[in-house]
Amino acid sequence: MLQVENVDHYFNKKFSFRPNSKWSLPREAYKHPPEPIESLRDMKVSLNACKGQLNRFALTEWSNHTKFTDPSSSIIETISSTCKVELLTQAWCKFYECLYNYPIVSRTSIETRTLNSLHLCEAPGAFISALNYFLYAKHPWIKWRWRASTLNPYYEGNSLDEMIYDDRLIRRTLPNWEFGPDLTGDLRTLHNHESVVASCEGIMLVTADGSTDCSGDPGEQERHVHFLHYCEVMTALKVLGVHGNFVLKLFTMFEHETVSLMFLLNCLFLGVHVFKPCASKSGNSEVYVVCLDYRGYDTVPEVLRKTLMLPYGDGHGESVMFPLDAVSCDFVRQVEDCARLFMNWQRDHINSNVEMFRTEDEDVLCQIRNRKESVAGGYVRKFRIPKGINKRRRLMRSGASRFVHEEEPCSVALPELTIKTGRAVSVVYKSEFGHVTPKIGGDDLIFAAIKSNLPDTYASITGACFSPDDPQHVMQREFLSLVRKCLDCSCDIVIYGVALLTRFLVGVVYILASGFESFVTYESGAILFSKRRDSIDRIKGCFDEISQVYASLKGDKFPVDILEVVDKGILKRGHFYKAISEYNKGLCR
């Protein structure tokens, strides 16, 4: 049964690499295939066998059980009861803990009273918020500027399986975010990597909190997420200034690829530490690699710099960064010690959870509750979180612009075109204007529902005008063309059965609506535009301008398309936004 233990143990899951002056980087990278490291492979088998015990438990019941037993599960509740914290999440707590345990804000930044930071894979922004609070509490005189990159929550082609769709901070600080030339925000593409690097200057801190969905193959999590870790590391190494610091979320260290990546970091930073925050769930493999005092990218030989970038050019490839015979045996032994230490902590916690599953022993249950209370109390005492910060330091001030203004009356005037291009969307995975799964039905049913409301003469655009097999970007060009043709008629226009789920489509409809005295949406999935205004020629001019942009698009690095024609903030205001959302409800669920 559960053993009594000092809660200080949960705050001290740490390992520090012992640097060796004999460690040196090879001349080239990615010239050799990966090799298994027997000792690390055995650890991987052992940990996966331990996790394999969980297959016999119902997922929901097991998740509820581990949430209850997790020593850190009361930290957020305890903080929120006494402190007003923006974006208080588990990630916030983990990074705040890292900041207190290591000198992540460098001596250079403290002495110059300036800190420029870059935050990779950052949505929703908890690391930024935690750093803001830490600076307020410890270094309030530091002038701080930050930039961030993450998968763009507004790009309709980003899968929800990979993306955190929480834009509370992003929508209020949009100029600080770099989504790359294709507007996806995907750091795994070379052009987005180059864009992030070009947008940064004087960076002294980089954080990288990225991960990928490995639920389909959890035993190979390390392999699945390695390429993202590579991209985060290479971006950090290129933007960091000398003596800068880097914090990277990692998982297990069983694979040759990870050993090579860790060797690179140990050769380029004076100090490298591995830390599992108390606020991180004890049963998972998550750790944070804290790299201190960067030697600088100029210390990397030119040939090695070029070959280090090879995976960005050809994807994951079949080669490993460094062959094992180029990595110090002493370093490999230290990786083994580190991997074993964190594996044992994780395995012990999993076995303890298995032992306690469905227990009704009141002494054990009481012990769990007391431990959680002690850990939460210890967290607040150790890290001295300020109860609040002054309004000037808040990231999400109440005066910041918002996209939805419920009280604003409907006023669809001809907007200024704000044409944005990026990677063409093939499939819509998420939308700010409704659900994306089509309802079962058809244009005939919609037409029957609205027929009595239609004028004698009208032009129509229906769902049947488009092939369901066409990519989204092809459909959107056809939609624009049909709208433009409808304007050449002198009659009213009806659109039905066409899901308006992207910024482009909704923007086109907004421009169209500005040319009519009335536009009415029907819950069955139809919009009627009636009583043309005198501005209709200007509307035609807008659509012709969009068509000209289409004609000039060139996609050398990625397939390019128009993603936005009217500022998104305008599209999400008042009654127009409500009307489009209600229209889409009739078509999607």
Give the residue numbers annotated as catalytic, written as ranges: 249
Dist. CA 137–CA 431, nearest whole Å: 39
Relative orientation angle of helices 126-138 and 90-101, to the nearest 10 degrees: 40
State how far the Cα of 102 lies from the Cα of 124, in Å rounded to an integer: 24
- Beta-carbon-side half-sphere exposure of residue 522 (alpha carbons within 13 Å): 21
DSSP β-ladder status, 114-120 and 203-208: parallel
Q: Is the dihedral of CA 404, 407, 408, 409 positive or negative?
A: positive
Going from the C-alpha of 11 to that of each of 8, 14, 97, 285, 370, the distances in angstroms are 5, 9, 9, 16, 16
**Contacts of 152 by beta carbon, 8 Å cutoff, 6+ apart:** 158, 179, 183, 184, 185
- Half-sphere CA count of 217, side-chain side, radius 13 A: 7
- SS3 breakdown of the chain: % helix, strand, coil, rounded to 5? 45, 15, 40
Q: Would the annotation count 216 as a binding residue?
A: no
Q: How far is CA 478 from CA 434, 473, 519, 525, in A?
A: 21, 9, 22, 19
Measured in degrees and rounded to the nearest 5, phi and psi for residue 498 equal: -110, 110
Handedness of CA 135, 136, 137, 141 (dihedral sign): positive
Pick the closest to residue 321 from 433, 205, 231, 420 (CA basis): 231
| Residue 177, annotated as binding a ligand | no
Mapped onto helix, strand or coil, the DSSP state of residue 165 is: coil
Return phi, psi of residue 188, to 5°: -80, 0
Element (H or E) spanning 459, and its range? strand 458-462
Question: Quick one: how far is CA 288 from the chain centroid?
Answer: 17
Distance CA 573, CA 364 (A): 53
User: Residue 209, annotated ligand binder?
Assistant: yes
d(CA 283, CA 287): 11
Tell which residue, 232, 247, 202, has the closest CA to residue 100.
247
Amino acid code (one letter) for 311: P
- Tell the residue number behind the tokens 């029907």, with chain if given: 522
Angle between helices 503-513 and 472-487 (to 10 degrees): 10
Nearest to 221 by CA among 187, 250, 261, 248: 250
CA distance 288 to 265: 13
The H-assigned helical ranges of 160-248 are: 190-198, 221-239
Question: What element of type H or E holds 117?
Answer: strand 114-120
Feature table: binding site: 125, 144, 209
Feature table: binding site for S-adenosyl-L-methionine: 125, 144, 209
